[in-house]
Structure formats: C-alpha cells, structure tokens
C-alpha cells in the first residue's frame, strides 16, 4: 500500500494490513505532519515488505497517540522524489506603489483646485465689486478703467449750488444729500468741496461734515456749505468725499 503525505508529498510503501478499515492516524517521518489515512480496498499481503524509518520524536502536539501508526523497524523507505516549483514573488504591499498613487492623487487634486480658482476669479471680480473694493481699495481705479465705477464707500452725493450776493459780497451756497446705498449702517464720511477754473485746476477747497454722523441702510442725510468771495476765475465746483490722507 502506498500512502502520500498531504503536506510535503512524500510517499511511503507499507505492507498490507498495517492500515486496517476504517483507517488510522499516521505521521510523516519527514515533516512530522499527521493525518487520518483510509484503509482502502483489502489487497493480498506483499511478499517483500519495505520497512519505514523509525520516525523521530514529534516536536509538535499529537492529537491522538493511541491511533498513531508505529514506525516499523528496519531501514528507511525510499521516498518518491518531489520537485518544488518556485512560487512567483508576492506583489508589493503598502509602501512604494501606494505612496506613489497617493502623491499622484494629491498632485492632480492641486491642479484641479488651481484651475477652478483661476476660472472663478473673473466671475468673483465682476459679481462682487463693492466687496472687493472694500477689501482692496486700489481696485476701484481698475473698475473705473473697465467702465464699471464702484462706490467703495457705499454713499452717494446729490448736491446743488447757487450764487448770490450778501451786501455786494458774492457767495456760493451749496446744499446736498448723502444717501446710504447699502443695507447696513455706516459712518458718514466728510465732504470735500473745491472751486476750479475753466482748465480744471483747483483754486480753493474746504471740508465740511454732514449733519448726521451715521446712516442706516438706505437712509438719507444732508449737508450744507457756503463760500464767500470765491476766486474771480472760478468756473465750476467739485463735490466729493474726503479721501484717505487728505
């Protein structure tokens, strides 16, 4: 009877009757593996038995020693040669490939974010001019150059002026309204008035405060001013809010 170790594929030739029905527990002399061997069909006794080398003392636990196949005395049986087929190396795990994929994903995400930012800047620039001018006052000149002047302060001035004589003294009288065009309460800036000649050169200017210090959303305030004895070559009057540093 030939039996084969299911672990290392070593084959042994046993004499008939050693493994009787229904079978018994056996152990491989090479790898110490144990398994239950079926008896198989009964065969006539083998005339020349081939003894199996006595197995060394097992190093691992044995589940059922009473059913173990005792090693017969004598010389070692010749095992059938077993050729090992090398296994292909396992694919790399963790490190290299995963790190490269993660780095590439981060790079692509950064490129998409940059493209979205560049594409969204023009839309943001033209949809929120007032907010951008408040954060970046220098952009007001850019909006004006593009033909879209922006009211950075949130106020609008509507002014009128008249010329009159006060005991033969010429007087320019100015009255105006200050309108808060936003939805929030704001501090009212001071008003700057300037007299200019026909060439647009400033001859004289002065600053007045509005009648109200603060105005709520869409509220209106007032201011007034007078200039006695204006320059003889005065041609027009400029009315605007005081700029920073003036």
Any idea what DSSP says for residue 109?
H
The reported pLDDT for the residue numbered 76 is: 46
Q: Which H or E run includes 139?
A: helix 139-145
The reported pLDDT for the residue numbered 239 is: 94
The reported pLDDT for the residue numbered 79 is: 54
Question: Kind of pairing, strands 34-38 and 23-27?
Answer: antiparallel
Question: Domain segments of the chain: what residues?
Answer: 1-84, 118-152, 155-241
Residues 174-211 have pLDDT tens digits of 999 999 988 889 999 999 999 999 999 999 999 999 99
What is the pLDDT averaged over residues 59-84?
52
∠ Cα 98 103 109 (to 5°)? 125
The reported pLDDT for the residue numbered 74 is: 45
What is the pLDDT averaged over residues 152-176?
89
Better-scored residue on pLDDT, 118 or 55:
118
C-alpha 27/C-alpha 65 separation (Å) is 10
The reported pLDDT for the residue numbered 65 is: 53
Give the per-residue SS3 of 184-218: CCEECCCEEEEEECCCCCEEEEEEECCCCCEECCC
The reported pLDDT for the residue numbered 125 is: 67
Number of Cα atoms under 13 Å in the Cβ half of residue 28: 16
Is 0.85 topped by the overall pTM?
no
C-alpha separations of 147 from 2, 139, 150, 152, 169 in Å: 101, 13, 10, 15, 42
Question: Kind of pairing, strands 2-4 and 202-208?
Answer: unpaired
* Least confident span in 57-61, 97-101, 233-237: 57-61
Fold of 155-241: Immunoglobulin-like (2.60.40)
C-alpha 104/C-alpha 127 separation (Å) is 35
At 203, list the tokens.
Answer: 């001859």
Better-scored residue on pLDDT, 189 or 128:
189
What is the pLDDT averaged over residues 215-229?
94
Residues 91-100 have pLDDT tens digits of 555 556 677 7
């Amino acid at each position: 009877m030939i039996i084969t170790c299911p672990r290392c594929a070593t084959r042994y030739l046993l004499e008939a009757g050693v493994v009787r029905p229904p079978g018994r527990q056996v152990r491989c002399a090479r790898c110490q593996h144990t398994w239950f061997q079926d008896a198989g069909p009964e065969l006539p006794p083998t005339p020349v038995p081939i003894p199996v080398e006595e197995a060394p003392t097992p190093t691992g636990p044995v589940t059922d020693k009473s059913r173990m196949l005792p090693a017969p005395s004598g010389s070692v049986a010749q095992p059938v040669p077993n050729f090992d087929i090398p296994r292909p190396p396992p694919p790399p795990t963790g490190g290299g490939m995963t790190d490269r994929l993660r780095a590439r994903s981060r790079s692509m995400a950064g490129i998409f974010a940059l493209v979205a930012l560049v594409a969204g800047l023009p839309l943001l620039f033209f949809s929120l001019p007032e907010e951008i001018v408040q954060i970046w006052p220098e952009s007001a000149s850019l909006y004006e150059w593009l033909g879209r002047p922006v009211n950075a302060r949130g106020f609008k001035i509507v002014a009128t002026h008249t010329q009159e004589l006060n005991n033969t003294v010429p007087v320019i009288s100015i009255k105006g309204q200050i309108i808060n065009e936003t939805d929030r309460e704001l501090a009212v800036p001071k008003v700057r008035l300037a007299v200019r000649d026909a060439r647009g050169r400033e001859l004289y200017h002065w600053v007045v405060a509005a009648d109200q210090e603060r105005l709520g959303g869409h509220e209106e305030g007032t201011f007034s001013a007078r200039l006695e004895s204006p320059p003889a070559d005065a041609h027009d009057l400029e009315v605007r809010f005081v700029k920073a540093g003036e």
